[in-house]
Amino acid sequence: MGPLAHNESLLKKLAEEGVIFVDSLDAVPDGATVLIRSHGERPEVFARAEEKNLTVVNATCPFVQKLQQLVAQLVREGRQVVIVGDSRHPEIQGVLGWGRDRPLVLQNSGELAKLHSLDRSRPVAVVAQTTQQVSILEEIVEKLKRVVPVVNIYNTICKATAARQDAARELAQVADVMIVIGSKSSSNTRKLGEICRAAGARTIEIAAASELDTAQLQGVRTVGITAGASTPDWLIKEVIGKMENENKVEVTEQTVEEVPAEEVPAVEEAPAAEEATAAEEVPMDQAMKDFAKGDVVKGTVVQVSDDEALIDIGYKSEGVLPRQELILAAGQPVSAVLQPGQEIDVTIKDIDEQEGRVLLSRKKLMRKQRWAELEAAFNEGKVLTGVVKETVPAGMVVDLGYGYEGFMPGSLVDIRYIPDFSEFLNQEVSFKIIEMRKEREKLILSRKQVLEEEAEKRKQEVLHSLQPGQIIRGTVKRLTNFGAFVDVGGIDGLVHISEISWQRIDTPGDVLHVGDEVEVKVTEVIPERERIGLSLRQAQPDPWTQIDKQYKVGDVVEGKVTRTVDFGAFVELIPGVEGLVHISQLANYHVKQTTDVVKQGDVVKVKILDINPEAKRVSLSMREAAPRPKREHHPQPQTQDSGTGVTLGDVFGDLFNRDK
């Protein structure tokens, strides 16, 4: 429903994955799934979705949801509400819907005079767009205090946005130039640019590396980089890579810590922690009269069959632990989990005093023990495994054992986008528990976190194992106008365009394609900056070392004109080796312009005049490669004597019969 975030590169990638963007639910087929973007929507959109029987995935930012609910509550209470923000922004359009279109919107303090409908005798409640600048909110509040009796301020600015703005302001005070990366349609990106300029830094705003003119950075000592909230990390790395490779500038990167999860408004209040009650242990030699239902005792397995086990708990007869009082997989026998001589804890479920028989159970204890194991794994960040027992469109249900199940949302299944989770059904997967609530037995799992940590570990191993000079294999992941990014084992290295081929190329796409497996030479490794420099051409033989073995001075060969210049033409003899035909060696006559004789792409015959592999220079001649045509003698016509007795032939003789 609308663009998910204000970043064209991100939206393009999502579109390639099959995401369809619509401006109205009328364009969505009945029964389909619609995702509400982070900016949120008006309540009538949700009502319309219900009418069309749509599955709604609400991805509204928690801070925006909090703002929506607050405005709705203030309007219900009959309060005057002023929103500090851009009335055209989709976030504010949605918030106005929750406020029944009653709140007034101010973009800056200069618009205060336009509030004709404001009752200046009543208090005003002020809220802010989540990406608003704190300084603008404060300025408007100060001016409102002069015209209304009471101003109640609700700071609804996202903490991550405020932290990013503070970091940008701080960085702009020490950098010579600030580069702000993000879409021009992004409100928080535009505000970052305004903050950097206000801090006194020369500010360049770009949406991608291709928009950066590195000539603007000539003579610059330090460049600061900040980016909008919706700018993907790979876009930032491309910009840094382009600057470092083209201008060799020092880049000061400023990262902003994410807002801790506990500071994000939760949908539900967390319940109070339950007090754990310790089960009382019953001694082995205690008399029968001291046993009671619910007691937890320690016993020893005496005998095991497929359907039950006999447990010695210190009484005159063994207690019976039937199959149904254990948590077992379908068809699994008791003997699969218990062996004679094993010590276990059991709960007394029933006592038959007439028969002297004790019925035992392990269900609750097994679940309690398993929950404690899961809780310890959650607290320690331990990796667990489980079998996927069910897949649904929203994710996967994983069997955690002893009756517990965990849910893995689709966004946490993998690093890459997976349209169908059925491939994981009945498969064992690794994961971490990222959320658990005992009172609901709710467990949220993430396989993606495990994969990301494994990838980070591999990346660090690669960074610290690579050495300049190594020849390694990699896969081309992305092409840019200044080079190619090659995956060399969980981390991308950059092959600059000048290091792709010994031949002259216009774009990396002339030689490489995404997915190509290539051999590259490591030229530099900077672990602390996660930077790897690679060369494709240095991993291949230098053609200049072969030229004097293939050709010798005096050879006449064919070559292709690769480019023309004022002083001659360059002719390619073999891939990567060009020789120069000086303009004086182009023809048997005087040549004014190179292009009068040859053009780029022409195949011509040349004679090798000189080969210098060390200097990587070959001198060629087209004039000497072709034999001179013999001129036929034409008798000069006799010119009439003008009366002086001297003719032109007498003056110039056979001058015009000579070869030039």
The residues annotated as belonging to the active site are 91
Structure tokens at 325: 């009082």
Paired residues of 152 in beta bridges: 125
Distance CA 103, CA 637 (A): 104
Strand 104-106 relative to strand 395-401, pairing: unpaired
Nearest to 39 by CA among 77, 75, 90, 87: 90
User: What type of residue sits at position 273?
Assistant: A
Answer whether 416's CB lies under 8 Å from 447's CB.
no
SS3 content of the chain, % helix, strand, coil (to 5): 30, 30, 40
Paired residues of 532 in beta bridges: 525
Strands (E), 129-195: 151-153, 177-181
Answer whether 515's CB lies under 8 Å from 478's CB.
no
DSSP 258: P
CA torsion 442→448→454→456, rounded to 10°?
Answer: -120
Answer whether 349's CB lies under 8 Å from 364's CB.
no
Distance CA 14, CA 363 (A): 47
Tell me the torsion sign for CA atoms 144, 145, 147, 153: positive
What's the length of the chain?
A: 660
> 65: how many CB neighbours lie within 10 A of its CB?
15
Sequence-distant (≥ 6) Cβ neighbours of residue 339 within 8 angstroms? 301, 304
Give the position of tokens 């205090």. 145
Q: In b/e form, how buried is each residue of 462-472, taking b as 16+ CB within 10 angstroms?
A: bbeebeeeeeb
Distance CA 109, CA 139 (A): 7
Cα–Cα separations (whole angstroms), residue 385 to 366, 401, 431, 432, 460: 18, 10, 6, 9, 25
Q: Torsions phi, psi of 226, nearest 5? A: -135, 165
